[in-house]
């Protein structure tokens, strides 16, 4: 199933708005004067933070997992997130056969229930 084209446009527009915003950060330490809250532009955020913001702030309904992963990979530096995060995104973005396609392939090779019935006889 393909992503809804209108939803894709809305998601990309939302991401553009997200990237123009500033985000709160906590600066300082508790030893010499405490903490203060500041703001940081998108480009200065750690990649893991960018990924978390995009995954949580964007409404991904109507978007396939593959398209979501592809968009996320294009918006962050995959080399600066954890191996687990990167692997999940790459796996989701990679074309993998659907369950229906796997069943069809098995049936075309003579596998499945028909083969099992022949073995019972």
pLDDT in tens, 55-82: 999 999 999 999 999 999 999 999 999 9
Query: What is the value of pTM for the model shown?
Result: 0.74
Contacts of the segment 59-62: beta carbons below 8 A, 24+ positions apart: 59/10, 59/11, 59/14, 60/11, 61/7, 62/3, 62/4, 62/6, 62/7
Contact 11, 58 (CB under 8 A): yes
CA distances for 10 relative to 1, 58, 67, angstroms? 18, 10, 13
pLDDT confidence tier of residue 100, bands split at 50, 70 and 90: confident
More confident of the two residues 21 and 29: 21
Task: Report the C-alpha gap between 12 and 27 in whole angstroms.
Answer: 31
The residue extents of the domains of the chain are: 5-97
Residue 31: what pLDDT? Answer: 73
Mean of the per-residue pLDDT values of the chain: 88
């Amino acid at each position: 199933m393909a992503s809804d084209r209108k939803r894709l446009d809305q998601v990309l527009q939302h991401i553009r708005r997200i990237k123009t915003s500033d985000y709160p950060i906590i600066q300082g330490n508790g030893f010499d004067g405490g903490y203060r809250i500041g703001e940081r532009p998108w480009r200065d955020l750690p990649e893991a933070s960018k990924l978390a913001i995009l995954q949580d702030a964007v409404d991904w309904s109507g978007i396939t997992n593959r398209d979501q992963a592809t968009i996320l990979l294009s918006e962050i530096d995959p080399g600066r997130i954890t191996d687990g995060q990167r692997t999940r995104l790459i796996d989701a973005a990679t074309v993998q056969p659907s369950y229906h396609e796997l069943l069809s392939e098995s049936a075309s090779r003579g596998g499945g229930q028909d083969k099992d019935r022949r073995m019972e006889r």
